[in-house]
């Protein structure tokens, strides 16, 4: 075990980073979609014809999980776990780990908040279905911050490969 870690510490750290991105962002999205889903189910019991609209709103907090998957996947293919050599120095391993953190944490918390905003937007559509366009924008505002985190994570993960350390 000690020997394994000593010789593969870099790639282990990098894989931890990829796992964190998928895992935290996934938790957040699951929770966000869950919160919105509860509100959506309530609306549909009263008016089944609103199913399509509330489903769209419910799905909005789901994107963070996808972004997490994206970062995890790019990281894994960069460090060579999905084929190729996986000879990563410890320093690079740490860099990969840190590169994944913005997506992991911003993804997690923003998805939960977006879920709450989506639930409120679902309430809005329940009372005023014609305001669907506006209702959609409120949760989308929250997503901006997940996108910014995604961006920084992408830039970091894809830049590390070319670094000479």
Partner 1 sequence: MAVLQMQRITICGLQEDKKSITGFIQRHGVIEFNDLLQQDEVFQKMDFSSSEAVFSKNSVKADSALETLEAYDSEKKSLLSMFEGRKQITLNEYDAFSEKETEISEVVAEIISLEKEIAESKAEILKFKLQTETLIPWSSLDVPLSFQGTAYTTAFIGTLPNTWTLEMVYEQLAEYTPVNVDIINASREQTCIMAICEKGKADLVSDKLKSNGFAYPVVSGDIAPIKQIQQFEEQIKEYESLISADIEKIKGLAKKREDIKLFADSQSIGAGRYNAASQMLQSKNVFFISGFIPQKAVNFVTDYMKNYSAEVVVEEPTEDDDVPIALQNKGFAAPLEGVVEAFSLPGRREIDPSMVVAVFYYLFFGAMLSETMYGVALVLGCGFILHKFKHTIEGPMKKNMQMFMYCGFGTILWGVIYGSYFGDAISVISTTFFGKTVAIPPLWLDPVKNPMTVLVLSLALGIIHIFVGLGANLYQCIKRKDIKSALYDVILWYMILVGCLLMGLSSQMIIGMTGLSWILPASVGKVGMILAAVAAIGIILTNGRESKSPVKRILKGLYALYNITGYLSDMLSYSRLLALGLATGVICSVVNKIGAMFGPTPLGVIIFIVIFIGGNALNIGINALGAYVHSNRLAYVELFGKFYEGGGRKFEPYIAKTKYYKIKEN
Contact between 9 and 90 under an 8 Å Cβ cutoff? The reply is yes
The nearest distance, CB 99 to partner 1, in angstroms, is 12
Residues 32-61 vs partner 1: string with x where CB under 8 A?
------------------------x--xx-
70 scored as a contact of partner 1 (CB under 8 A):
yes
| DSSP-derived secondary structure for 151-162 | HHHHHHHHHHTT
- Cα 8 to Cα 67: distance, rounded to the nearest angstrom: 27
Q: Between 91 and 137, whose beta carbon lies closer to partner 1?
A: 137
> Pick from 74, 95, 99, 126: which binds partner 1 (CB under 8 A)?
74
96's CB contacts (< 8 A; 6+ apart) are: 13, 14, 17, 18, 75, 78, 79, 88, 157, 160
Per-residue H/E/C for 50-88 = HHHHHHHHHHHHHHHHHHHHHHHHHHHHHHCCCCCCCCC
CA 145 to chain centre: 11
> Pick from 5, 66, 91, 163: which binds partner 1 (CB under 8 A)?
66
> Pick from 151, 160, 163, 165: which binds partner 1 (CB under 8 A)?
151
> Pick from 16, 69, 81, 120: which binds partner 1 (CB under 8 A)?
69
**Contacts with partner 1, residue ranges (CB under 8 A):** 56, 59-60, 62-63, 66-67, 69-70, 73-74, 82, 132-134, 136-137, 140-141, 143-144, 147-148, 150-151, 154-155, 158
């Amino acid at each position: 075990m000690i020997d394994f870690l000593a010789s593969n510490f870099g790639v282990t750290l990098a894989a931890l980073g990829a796992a964190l991105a998928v895992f935290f962002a996934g938790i957040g999205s699951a929770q966000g979609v869950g919160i919105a889903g509860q509100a959506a189910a309530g609306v549909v019991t009263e008016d089944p014809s609103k199913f399509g609209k509330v489903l769209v709103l419910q799905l909005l907090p789901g994107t963070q999980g996808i972004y997490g998957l994206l970062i995890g996947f790019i990281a894994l293919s960069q460090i060579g776990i999905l084929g190729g050599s996986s000879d990563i120095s410890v320093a690079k391993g740490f860099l990969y780990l840190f590169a994944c953190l913005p997506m992991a944490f911003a993804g997690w918390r923003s998805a939960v908040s977006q879920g709450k905003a989506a639930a409120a937007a679902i309430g809005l559509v329940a009372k005023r279905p014609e305001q669907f366009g506006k209702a959609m924008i409120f949760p989308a505002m929250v997503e901006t911050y997940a996108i910014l985190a995604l961006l920084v994570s992408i830039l970091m993960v894809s830049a590390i490969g070319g670094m000479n350390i």
